[in-house]
Amino acid sequence: MIYKFPKNFLFGVGTSSHQIEGNNFNNDWWFAETNKPKGQKFPSEKSGIANDFWNRYKADIDLVSELGCDIFRMSVEWSRIEPREGYFDNEAIFHYKKIMEYARSKKLKIFLTLHHFTIPIWFEIKGGFANSKASDYFSNYALKCVEEFREYTTLFATINEPEVLISSGYLHGEWPPFEKNLLRTYLALKNIFKCHNNAYKIIKNKYSVKIGIVTNILCIQASSNSFLEKFLANLFQNLVIFNSLNSVKKNLDFIGLNFYQTFKISGLNISNKYEPHDEMGWYLNFDSIRIILNKLKKFKLPIYITENGIADESDKLREWYLKYILISIYEALTLDKVNVKGYIHWSLIDNFEWQYGYEKKFGLVSVSRNHNLKRIKRKSFAYYQLICKTKQVIE
Ligand code: BGC
Q: Mean pLDDT per 10-residue run, the chain (395 residues)?
A: 98 98 97 82 85 98 98 98 98 98 98 98 98 98 98 98 97 94 97 98 98 97 96 94 92 98 96 96 96 97 98 98 98 98 98 96 98 98 98 97
- Which atom of ligand 1 lies nearest, measured to the CA of 309? 5
- Give Dmax (Cα) for the chain: 60
pTM of the model: 0.98
Task: State the Cα–Cα distance between residues 280 and 355, nearest whole angstrom.
Answer: 12
Ligand 1 atom 3 nearest Cα = 353
CB 3 within 8 A of CB 327: yes
What's residue 37's pLDDT? Answer: 73
CB 330 within 8 A of CB 347: no
- Which atom of ligand 1 lies nearest, measured to the CA of 161? 8
Task: Establish whether residue 307 lines the binding site of ligand 1, counting it when its CB lies within 6 angstroms of any ligand atom.
Answer: yes
Share of the chain above pLDDT 90, in %: 96
DSSP-derived secondary structure for 99-163 = HHHHHHHTT-EEEEEEESS--BHHHHHTTGGGSTTHHHHHHHHHHHHHHHHTTT-SEEEEEE-HH
Burial of 347 (0-12, 13-18, 19+ CB in 10 A): buried
Q: Give distance in angstroms: CA of 297 to centre of ligand 1.
A: 24
Residue 92 parent element (H or E): helix 90-105
pLDDT in tens, 125-157: 999 999 999 999 999 999 999 999 999 999 999
Task: State the Cα–Cα distance between residues 138 and 66, nearest whole angstrom.
Answer: 35
Task: State the Cα–Cα distance between residues 118 and 29, nearest whole angstrom.
Answer: 6
Task: Establish whether residue 161 lines the binding site of ligand 1, counting it when its CB lies within 6 angstroms of any ligand atom.
Answer: yes
Task: State the Cα–Cα distance between residues 88 and 384, nearest whole angstrom.
Answer: 38
- Which atom of ligand 1 lies nearest, measured to the CA of 280? 12
Q: Return the best residue to mutate from 244, 278, 308, 353 for the ligand 1 pocket (most ligand atoms within 8 A of CB).
A: 353
Ligand 1 atom 10 nearest Cα = 353
